[in-house]
């Protein structure tokens, strides 16, 4: 039986949003592949403001790039993929990684950075005014990347969350690009949803869920 990993469910608020304490940073961080990421300070934390795209661990070892559905669902070691196996999505949405890659001691994160813990995710949510308001403040605005109407999105935090979708851990299929975003934490994952034709409702709080370790989710790193 597949192991399950607990997750956060982060939804959208249609309420009026409070002012955010946080600011965008001008700093960048570069991964081992040479990809450059903008960063943002939210409270006392510094986060990547883009999804991870790296294809090698910090020590230079390659991360397995798995396209085939059967290989993906049967894996018990670290791997990544592009959404729908189309590298054209990667520049905006980043790559999708399984839990084994996130948990690998060789680490996905650049030097001086790490995969966030569930406590660090909780701090991020608190710094964006709590469960019922965090999603809108973290989501990139507009409908270029999010399916209309992208309810409640202000991106006041400058976290610039994008809906990179996920890869299913049981059959290797791809889902919800444009409507849902999912990010691994070191011990859990958290999700963000858009109110859209595919969802048909507004999710307004953070809930816990479970994913098997073979799911492919996005990654954001936090500075040490």
- Which DSSP category does 16 fall into? P
- Give the residue with greater pLDDT, 129 vs 33: 33
Per-residue pLDDT tens for 180-194?
888 888 776 666 654
The DSSP annotation for 28-72 comes to: EEE-TT--EEEEEEETTEEEESS-----B-TTSPBPEE---HHHH
Nearest to 171 by CA among 36, 74, 53, 33: 74
Classify 100 as helix, strand or coil.
Answer: helix
CB 176: neighbour CB atoms within 10 A?
20
Sorting pLDDT into bands at 50, 70 and 90, what band is 77? very high
Q: What is the pLDDT of residue 45?
A: 97
- Stretch 55-61: mean pLDDT, rounded? 99
Judge whether 73 and 87 are in contact, CB under 8 Å: no
- Stretch 170-176: mean pLDDT, rounded? 95
Per-residue pLDDT tens for 154-164?
889 999 989 99
Is 118 a residue whose pLDDT tops 90? no
Classify 89 as helix, strand or coil.
Answer: helix
Is 147 a residue whose pLDDT tops 70? yes
Judge whether 109 and 115 are in contact, CB under 8 Å: yes
- Stretch 84-100: mean pLDDT, rounded? 97
Sorting pLDDT into bands at 50, 70 and 90, what band is 151? confident
Sign of the four-CA dihedral 100, 108, 46, 12: negative
- Stretch 45-67: mean pLDDT, rounded? 98
With a pLDDT cut of 70, the percent of the chain lying above it is: 75
Sorting pLDDT into bands at 50, 70 and 90, what band is 28? very high
- Stretch 105-128: mean pLDDT, rounded? 91
The whole-model pTM stands at: 0.83
Q: What is the pLDDT of residue 51?
A: 97
Q: What is the pLDDT of residue 173?
A: 98
State the alpha helices, DSSP H only, in the chain.
Answer: 69-74, 90-93, 99-102, 118-127, 131-138
CA angle at 194 for the pair 46 and 124, rounded to the nearest 5°: 20
Residue with tokens 């795209």: 53
Distance (Å, rounded) from C-alpha 116 to C-alpha 5?
15
Sign of the four-CA dihedral 140, 207, 148, 19: negative
Ordered by start, the domain boundaries in the chain are: 4-223
The token pair at 135 is 């999603």
Sorting pLDDT into bands at 50, 70 and 90, what band is 108? very high
- Which DSSP category does 181 fall into? E
Q: What is the pLDDT of residue 20?
A: 32
The token pair at 68 is 């085939």
- Stretch 198-217: mean pLDDT, rounded? 55
Distances in whole angstroms, Cα of residue 112 to Cα of each of 14, 20, 25, 29, 153? 37, 26, 17, 9, 30
């Amino acid at each position: 039986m597949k192991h399950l990993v607990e997750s956060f469910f982060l939804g959208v608020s249609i309420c009026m949003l409070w002012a955010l304490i946080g600011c965008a940073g001008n700093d960048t961080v570069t991964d081992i592949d040479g990809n450059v990421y903008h960063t943002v300070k939210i409270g006392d934390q510094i986060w990547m403001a883009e999804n991870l795209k790296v294809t090698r661990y910090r020590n230079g070892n390659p991360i397995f790039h798995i396209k085939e559905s059967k290989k993906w669902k049967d894996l018990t070691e670290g791997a990544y993929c592009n959404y729908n196996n189309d590298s054209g999505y990667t520049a905006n949405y980043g790559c999708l990684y399984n839990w084994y890659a996130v948990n690998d001691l060789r680490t996905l994160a650049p030097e001086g950075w790490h995969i966030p813990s569930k406590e660090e995710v909780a701090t991020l949510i608190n710094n964006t005014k709590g469960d019922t308001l965090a999603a809108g403040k973290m989501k990139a605005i507009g409908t270029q990347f999010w399916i209309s109407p992208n309810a409640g999105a202000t991106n006041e935090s400058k976290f610039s969350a994008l809906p990179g979708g996920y890869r299913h851990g049981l059959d290797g299929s791809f889902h919800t690009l444009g409507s849902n975003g999912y990010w691994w934490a070191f011990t859990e994952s958290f999700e963000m949803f858009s109110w859209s034709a595919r969802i048909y409702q507004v999710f307004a709080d953070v809930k816990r869920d479970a994913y098997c370790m073979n799911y492919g989710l996005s990654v954001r790193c936090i500075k040490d």
